[in-house]
Structure 1
């Protein structure tokens, strides 16, 4: 059960890294402030990244990385954060690809 708790804790940390990185990339590489959809998306990503970052930081600082509780909770955390990590990684991939596409488009329009 300790291994399941450890994997769940690591998934919380990886989710936090993906969430914070997605918000930072989107916030620094796209004109999110120009439209309400962009502002909402950036705010959403920033909040998700912040919450996950706080949780991951607490797990690390308090030494509770493997202590995920009793009963079925370690398995629930493992499945839940496996899904969260997958979706945030997917979002990070989408943001990175969109940024590359935007750069290619600008280069074609204005080659200097």
Structure 2
């Protein structure tokens, strides 16, 4: 059972358009569109605001928004590249791209530090 976001999502910023994100990452446009659906479901899991908070991130990882975890905290910090406490769609896609099989090892190693 998925959630239904009743509000229209805000218009994406220019750097969050599927074609632009596909050009910046290791994903295809089709992949980016599929990731948008996943992001949409997770971002409206607790509140319908089109962002992923730390609480929603933990809910997605552990099916429990209250569980404390150093792993999820570090992963959230990696995904939240502008450190505003929220993961926007562009951050979500760019962060997942690091784990794509075609991402170079050097790119993967950079996220460890």
TM-score (norm 1): 0.30
TM-score (norm 2): 0.30
The structure showing larger relative contact order (alpha-carbon pairs under 8 Å, at least 6 residues apart) is: 1
